[in-house]
Chain A
């Protein structure tokens, strides 16, 4: 379903909804999943992002997202300088990602307090994004919902435990997806929620022994 507000919007810093607004949102999502501002980031630009990204400010947009700026924040224009001032070291690199990827795709590897995340995200047009890989796990995250990311041992009952904890606190799941790299290793759960998860639900999920990582990411669009 196409919304009126997808057509009349987003409000954004120019010049391109896919190369600027969408790119910024992928940066914002990466920051969200890292749980704060990165100290360093490697930004690899693929396809059209690599070819015309500079002229479209894609580098500035991603840097702005990593700094927590929304697509309509005029500080995007100076984000490279602001990142340097904020102690965020960003390296940009053109690359050709393996496999099938949308022409406007970036892989961002960001670090904070010894923790590292790797996000592959595509900008689909009109500012919409799709995160297709998180730490090597295949995912499909639109950033249009508050998102709960859980990494847990691949064993029976974990999904039920998480959804029970969410339900107990009245948090409603809009969409859900579980994937893994191999059987018996870790599995990643992506829950897109109607509202950000409550602190109580997060604490309950964190206390489950089989669960290694819990991250609540705000919606980015």
Chain B
């Protein structure tokens, strides 16, 4: 894959291809997998994403600790100024997948399990609104994968290494690029969507209560989806982010490397270290251990 998103954008532009198509060609050029195999795997990922959204929206789900679950379903009846728009649908989808994840249900790590709600929320939301078929969505996933691959090489895709900016932040950037292409934008616009989304998550810490992928992860996937939508809208409107996209990605990596270990998935800082965060984690972890004992 590519280690510079701008290089990929330039190559796609020269060849008259979308980033998704370029990614599919690059993936199969190595000869490890055929085009059919790659598309089949991405179609399966899409099916699992769709299943997870549907499962989460049923509303009867509880996480292993009991801290989260049932909130996605509340978004089925939104009350705010954006009710009835794709915005609430994206938030509901992202919450749904992440609630399923927290309950040990089946999801697609995209790029990680902790950030797994953003892509399905955004892409399936757009597809439903615009009546896009699965082959378009498979190409969208390839676009997202290409962006994620560049972020993996230049920065990080791990909360333990780079904080949440490397998980839901990376997922928002990936979803923004894919969303732009699904809506007919150019590779150049997709690149700006990545930069515009990612600048909004720079510095975002990973601070899960008790180290569990529950709070705030479930909600952070929803806000990650909202940031992706903002990136898509700005880029398609012709807004150009002045810092080149690769430099924005590098910045995320640099901030991650200098981030205190308390903010990198250790539950030592942020919301995890608040009095209530500590109390809830203590109660819930005791509950999990107790549950196991009674099982045995």
Contacts and interface: CB of A to CB of B under 8 A. Distances in A.
B142 interface: yes
Contacts of B24: 4
Contacts of A103: 160
Given A2-B153, A14-B101, A8 B213 contact: no
Contacts of B38: 4-5
B100 A14 contact: yes
Nearest to B30: A1
Given A7-B157, A12-B109, A80-B292, A55 B42 contact: no
30 contacts: A2-B152, A4-B23, A4-B24, A4-B146, A5-B38, A5-B42, A6-B149, A7-B148, A8-B41, A11-B45, A11-B107, A12-B108, A12-B109, A14-B106, A15-B103, A15-B114, A15-B212, A16-B113, A21-B109, A48-B160, A57-B64, A57-B104, A72-B48, A77-B104, A80-B295, A125-B112, A125-B157, A126-B111, A126-B112, A126-B157
A31 interface: no
A116 B152 CA distance: 38
A103 B42 CA distance: 31
A218 B146 CA distance: 29
Interface residues of A, number: 40
A182 interface: no
Contacts of B103: 14-15
B295 A4 contact: no
Given A2-B1, A13-B104, A54 B113 contact: no
Given A8-B42, A15-B213, A80-B292, A126 B106 contact: no
Interface in A117-156: 125-127
Interface residues of B, number: 60
A208 B98 CA distance: 53
B54 interface: no
Q: A2, A4, A72: which has the most chain B beta carbons within 10 Å?
A: A4
B27 A9 contact: no
B109 A9 contact: yes
Interface string A43-71: 00000100110111101100000000000
B211 A52 contact: yes
Contacts of A6: 149, 152
Interface in B241-296: 267, 284-285, 288-289, 292, 295-296
A20 B113 contact: yes
A19 to B, nearest CB: 8
Nearest to A55: B212
Contacts of A207: none
Nearest to B113: A17
Contacts, number: 158
Q: Is the interface of B mostly helix, strand, loop or mixed?
A: helix
Interface of B: 1, 23-24, 27, 30, 32-33, 38, 41-42, 44-45, 48, 63-65, 100-114, 116, 119, 141-142, 144-146, 148-149, 152-153, 157-158, 160-161, 174, 210-214, 267, 284-285, 288-289, 292, 295-296
Contact of A14 (B113, B158, B160): B113
Given A12-B109, A56-B211, A125-B112, 14 more contacts: A2-B152, A3-B149, A5-B33, A5-B145, A8-B145, A8-B148, A11-B44, A12-B107, A48-B211, A52-B267, A54-B289, A72-B106, A77-B104, A80-B295
Contacts of A57: 64, 104
Contacts of B284: 55
B152 A17 contact: no
A11 B158 CA distance: 17
Nearest to B63: A15
B210 A55 contact: yes
B149 A4 contact: yes
